[in-house]
Amino acid sequence: MHAFINNLINSDFSYMLFIAIILLSTKFLGLVTMKFRMPQVVGALIAGFILGPAVLNLVRDTDLISSLAEIGVIVLMFCAGLETDLNEMKKTGAASFVIALIGVLLPLAGGFGVAYFANSDPDLILHDVFIGIILTATSVSITVETLKELGKLNSHAGNAILGAAIIDDVLGIIGLTIVMSLADSSVSILIVLLKIIAFFIFAVIACYLFRKLYSKWTSRTEKDLRRYSITAFAFCLLLSFCAEFFFGVADITGAYIAGLAIAKTSKTEYVTKKFDTLSYLLLSPIFFASIGLKVNFSGMTSTIWIFAIVLTLVAIITKILGCGLGAKLFRFTTKESLQIGIGMISRGEVALIVASKGEKMGLMPPQYFGPVVLMVIVTTIITPVLLKIVFKDRRAGGGSAAFGKLA
C-alpha cells in the first residue's frame, strides 16, 4: 500500500490528484470552520497544513501549485481593487500612510530585538535586522477575503487597511532593498527607490488611459460580454508583471491598482462576478492551502521552538499596537483602531517571499526559516478569527462570492 501511494504521489499526473484533494479538503474543512462561526479561509489554511509535510505529507507544493497560488492571490487582490470605494479611500489616505509607517517601524524593532537576543554572534547584526524586515510585511489577501465574507470590505476600517497595506508593501520593499544593498554592493538603494517611484507614475498613467478606453468600449452596449472580463484580466496580469519585472514592486500591488482602474465602470459588477467564480472554483482554495503546505517542523530544536513562539507573539503584538496607534492618531474609534491593527497582522506570502530571498542571499540562517514559516501560518490563521470577533458579525456563515458563498 505504501509503495502504491508513493507511485501515485510521484507520477507525472500527480498534479491532478493534488488539486482534487486540495479542492475537496478545503471545501470540507471550510464548512466545518463555518459551523464554528469562523471564516472558511481558516479551514482552507488548516487543510493545507494537514495535507502537507507537517502532518500527512499527501500533497506537495509543486511548481504548478505555486504558480496557481500566485495567480490566485493576484486575482484576489484584483477583486479587492474592483470592490474598493475610491472616494472612501481618499478620506483615509493620510491615515493609511501613518498606519503603515508605524506598523512597519514597530515590528521592525520587535523582530530585530528578538533575533538580537537569540543571536550570540555580534557579527551577524545584519541577520537580526533582516528578521525585523520580515515582520514588517503585511499580506492583506487573507484579510480581504475575510472582510468580504463579513461584508466589511468597504467599511471605514476596511479601506484604511487596504490603503495602509499598499503603502506597507512599498515601505517593506525599501527596507528589504536597504538590507540587501548592505549585503551586496551590486544593489543600488537610489536606483531601487527611483524604480518604485517610477512604477507608481507608470501605474497612474497606464490606469488612467486604460480606464478611459475601457469605459468608452464597454459603454457601447448594455450586454455583458465575456470579452470585457478577458480584457480586464489581461490588463491585471500585465500590470502585475510590469510591477515585478520592470520595477521590483510586488505583483499583488499591480493587481490591486489594476482593479482600482476598472472599479465603478459600467461593467464592474459583471467582471467581478466572473472573477469571483474563477477564484472560488480553483484559485482561492489552492492559494490558501499552499500556505499550509509550506510548513515543515523537521530539525527544529527546543531553542528554535522558543524562538518561533516569541517571534510569533512579537509579530502579532507589534502590528496591533503599531497600526492601531497610527489609526488612533487620526481619530479612528478604539474599536476601529483595533480592527485595523488586527487586519494588518497576517504576513502570508509576502513574508515567505522575503524570507526565501534572504535565505538565498545568506541574510537569514537556515534554522530560522522554520520559525518564520510558523509565524506566517499562525498570523495568517489568527487574523480571520480575530477579525470575526472584533467586527462582531453575528451571521452563521460567510458570504464571500470568491470562496464562501457557494457552500
The string of pLDDT tens digits covering residues 325-366 is 999 999 899 999 999 999 999 887 678 778 877 777 788 877
Contacts of 178 (CB under 8 A, 6+ apart): 189
Spatial distance between the Cα atoms of 93 and 100, rounded to a whole number of angstroms: 11
Q: What per-residue confidence (pLDDT) applies to 398?
A: 43
pLDDT value, residue 327: 94
Contacts of 75 (CB under 8 A, 6+ apart): 236, 255, 275, 278, 279, 283, 284
**Largest distance between two CA atoms of the chain:** 68
Domains in the chain, CATH or no CATH each: 71-282+304-391 (1.20.1530.20)
* Grid coordinates of 332: 479612528
Q: What is the pLDDT of residue 396?
A: 43
Regarding pTM above 0.85, the answer is no
Instruction: Give the model's pLDDT for residue 313.
Output: 97
Closest listed residue to residue 143, CA positions, set 353, 388, 352: 388
* Position 66, amino acid: S
pLDDT for the residue numbered 359: 76
Q: Please state at what angle helix 40-51 crosses helix 141-150, rounded to 10 degrees.
A: 140
Q: Where do the H-state alpha helices sit in 83-155?
A: 86-91, 93-118, 125-136, 141-150
Q: How far apart are CA 317 and CA 337, in angstroms?
A: 14
- Which H/E stretch holds residue 168? helix 156-183
In this prediction, the residues of the chain whose per-residue pLDDT falls under 50 are: 395-407
Q: Cell 489577501 belongs to which residue?
A: 141
The model's pLDDT over 97-148, given as tens digits with 9 standing for 90+, comes to: 999 999 999 999 999 999 998 886 766 788 899 999 999 988 777 788 788 8
Q: What is the pLDDT of residue 349?
A: 67
Q: Residue 391: name the closest of 212, 157, 173 by CA.
A: 157
Q: What is the pLDDT of residue 306?
A: 94
Comparing CA positions, the residue from 96, 313, 95, 379 lying closest to residue 387 is 379
Q: What is the pLDDT of residue 333?
A: 92
